[in-house]
């Protein structure tokens, strides 16, 4: 494995204006492997002066890059995609150490990032304007689409590779420069790796800048920087509200993909084999640390007991352990996330639900204070219980019964969130009518909520976000239109 992209490589510099530079005060942040609880790398703890330097570089580079021909911008993104493919094994290894991702998680994240690159490479040639005839004689209208300038990307820790890619790559493809601030837990996969990969392309200096650091120390400066024109954030709704408010002070465009509380609705006549298959994947992939995972299983009372029994059997067949072993579930990212989700389980049981399986921690040899949580199924849950009304973000499956379709839809919609969802019903017409009534940005029939394809819009409603990602949705976020009118003939004025 090349030393430049490995868990043990030197990650102790930030990337500003095409150069690897130390932080201004020399301080660092340790990066811990969630499986072993051991520190395997250190990254710079950036300061506000480092943030300012990154934005200065981005602003200086934006005009020339924005004027680059579409073919040149397309080529750079294609070069990035090639580098992504060349280093697949190394990237997956780093993700295992940093994000606690299993091998399956790593391949999925890499595939999604590659899909984002392929879609982004088409954007430079799709930035087309419009022409319109004027109501005024002798005049024509031209509407041009241009890059906004500097795009801020604040990426999350759960899927840092592809969720950084879906903002960084289209922003650059559209002619913007970028300042990337990765999550504190995943500064390598979500940030510094992008600089490494772009070094293998013809991207000019200053177009991509990566500043690592604690959100508590530099987050406000990043979100509210006066040189930022767009702020793309993926994370919790609580933090997203603050980020959007900070961006709004400079009238920067907010692109916020926030929390979810996604329902998996199963009717009495649904194919339970398919519904359970989707349920297991949708609840337990990457330990449930997915904004579009199943947060609530909403199941008709006629098949409720069978559904719970079969879900318990499947959950107990899953192997949870170190991400470096052959397991289905790896560790939670850190102890605060682990303790919060286990607290929701305890509160839910105390409120009257039944713990069918799980609810505890899997001990790992040689690891103090393991972060691995057992696959957990709760029955007898109501929508008001802690594991249901909160985004638990863990390998937890609360199962809620319903008597009729109207009740199922009411349960699904009884949340401030509206990100994703899924429906299993006996016929497509019923499933489609349920999907139409679900107040959420995305619904998947005959499947589960975790779906993301770069050529299809990805967005939520309510407290799940503002704006959208993928395809033309994000292209509109990072570009703006300019109306130019041309008066070809002398015009008559009233005075």
Give me the chain's average pLDDT, please.
Answer: 97
pLDDT, one tens digit per residue, over 368-388 is 999 999 999 999 999 999 999
102 part of a folded domain: yes
392 part of a folded domain: yes
228 part of a folded domain: yes
Q: What is the pLDDT of residue 327?
A: 98
The secondary structure of residue 210, as a DSSP letter, is: E
273 shares a domain with 254? no
pLDDT, one tens digit per residue, over 230-272 is 999 999 999 999 999 999 999 999 999 999 999 999 999 999 9
At 335, which CATH number?
Answer: 3.40.309.10
What is the arithmetic mean of pLDDT over 52-62? 98
At 22, which CATH number?
Answer: 3.40.605.10
What is the arithmetic mean of pLDDT over 17-27? 94
pLDDT, one tens digit per residue, over 376-424 is 999 999 999 999 999 999 999 999 999 999 999 999 999 999 999 999 9
Place of tokens 């430049």: 4
283 shares a domain with 237? no
The model's pTM: 0.96
399 part of a folded domain: yes
CA distance 410 to 424: 16
450 part of a folded domain: no
pLDDT higher than threshold 60 for residue 14: yes
336 shares a domain with 250? no
* Residue of 114, 394, 109, 155 whose CA lies nearest to 256: 155
pLDDT higher than threshold 90 for residue 2: no
Place of tokens 């392929």: 118
181 shares a domain with 43? yes
The SS3 assignment for 181 reads strand
345 shares a domain with 232? no
pLDDT higher than threshold 70 for residue 187: yes
Pairing of strands 19-21, 14-16: antiparallel
Q: What is the pLDDT of residue 24?
A: 86
What is the arithmetic mean of pLDDT over 100-119? 97
Residues annotated catalytic, as ranges = 257, 291
Query: How far from each other are the two terminal CA atoms of the chain, in whole angstroms?
Result: 76
CA distance 81 to 114: 6
Residues 154, 232: contact at Cβ < 8 Å? yes
Q: What is the pLDDT of residue 4?
A: 84
109 shares a domain with 250? yes
160 shares a domain with 29? yes
Q: Which domain holds residue 76?
A: 3-258+464-482
- Tokens coding 19: 């150069």
359 part of a folded domain: yes
359 shares a domain with 300? yes
278 shares a domain with 240? no
Q: What is the pLDDT of residue 196?
A: 97
What is the arithmetic mean of pLDDT over 201-230? 97
Distance of CA 167 to the CA centre of its chain: 9
167 part of a folded domain: yes
Q: How confident is the model at residue 318 (pLDDT cuts 50, 70, 90)?
A: very high
476 shares a domain with 384? no
Count of domains forming the chain:
2
Q: What is the pLDDT of residue 1?
A: 36
61 part of a folded domain: yes
Q: How confident is the model at residue 488 (pLDDT cuts 50, 70, 90)?
A: very high
CA distance 453 to 495: 57
377 shares a domain with 238? no
pLDDT, one tens digit per residue, over 112-170 is 999 999 999 999 999 999 999 999 999 999 999 999 999 999 999 999 999 999 999 99
CA distance 282 to 126: 34
pLDDT higher than threshold 50 for residue 346: yes
- Tokens coding 69: 């021909």
368 shares a domain with 246? no
Question: What percent of the chain stands above pLDDT 90?
Answer: 98
Place of tokens 């090639």: 82
pLDDT higher than threshold 70 for residue 3: no
């Amino acid at each position: 494995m090349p030393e430049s992209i490995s868990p043990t490589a030197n990650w102790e510099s930030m990337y500003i204006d095409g150069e690897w530079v130390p932080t201004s005060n020399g301080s660092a942040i340790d990066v811990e492997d969630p499986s072993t609880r051991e520190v395997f790398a250190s990254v710079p703890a950036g300061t506000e002066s480092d943030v300012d330097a990154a934005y200065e570089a981005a602003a200086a580079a934006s005009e020339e890059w924005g004027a680059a021909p579409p073919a040149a911008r397309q080529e750079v993104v294609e070069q990035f995609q090639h580098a992504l493919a060349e280093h697949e094994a190394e990237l997956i290894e780093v993700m295992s150490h940093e994000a606690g991702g299993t091998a399956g998680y790593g391949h999925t994240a890499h595939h999604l990032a590659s899909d984002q690159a392929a879609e982004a490479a088409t954007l430079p040639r799709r930035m087309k304007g419009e022409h319109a005839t004027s109501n005024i004689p002798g005049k024509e209208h031209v509407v041009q689409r241009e890059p906004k300038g500097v795009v801020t990307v604040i990426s999350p820790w759960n899927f840092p590779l592809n969720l950084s890619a879906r903002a960084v790559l289209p922003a650059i493809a559209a002619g913007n420069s970028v300042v990337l601030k990765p999550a504190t837990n995943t500064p390598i996969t979500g940030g510094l790796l992008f600089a490494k990969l772009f070094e293998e392309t013809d991207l000019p200096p200053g177009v991509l800048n990566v500043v690592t650091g604690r959100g508590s120390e530099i987050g406000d400066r990043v979100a509210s920087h006066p040189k930022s024109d767009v702020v793309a954030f993926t994370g919790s709704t609580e933090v997203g509200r603050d980020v959007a408010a900070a961006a709004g002070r400079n009238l920067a465009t907010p692109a916020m993909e926030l929390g979810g509380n996604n329902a998996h609705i199963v009717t009495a006549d649904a194919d339970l084999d398919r519904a359970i298959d989707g349920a297991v994947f949708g609840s337990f992939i990457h330990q449930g640390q997915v904004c579009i995972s199943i947060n609530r299983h909403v199941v008709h009372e006629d098949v409720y007991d069978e559904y719970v029994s079969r879900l318990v059997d499947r959950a107990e067949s899953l192997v949870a352990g170190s991400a470096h072993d052959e397991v289905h579930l790896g560790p939670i990212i850190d102890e605060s996330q682990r303790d919060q989700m286990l607290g929701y389980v305890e509160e839910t049981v105390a409120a009257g639900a039944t713990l069918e399986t799980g609810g505890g921690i899997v001990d790992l040899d040689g690891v103090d204070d393991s972060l691995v949580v057992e696959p957990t199924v709760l029955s007898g849950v109501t929508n008001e219980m802690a594991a249901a009304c909160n985004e638990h973000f863990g390998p937890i499956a609360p199962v809620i019964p319903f008597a009729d379709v109207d009740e199922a839809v009411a349960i699904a919609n009884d949340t401030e969130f509206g990100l994703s969802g899924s429906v299993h019903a006996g016929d497509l017409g019923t499933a489609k009518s349920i999907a139409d009534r679900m107040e959420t940005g995305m619904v998947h029939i005959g499947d589960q909520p975790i779906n993301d394809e770069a050529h299809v819009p990805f967005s939520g409603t309510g407290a799940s976000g503002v704006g959208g990602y993928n395809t033309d949705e994000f292209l509109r976020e990072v570009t703006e239109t300019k109306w130019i009118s041309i008066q070809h003939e002398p015009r008559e004025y009233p005075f």
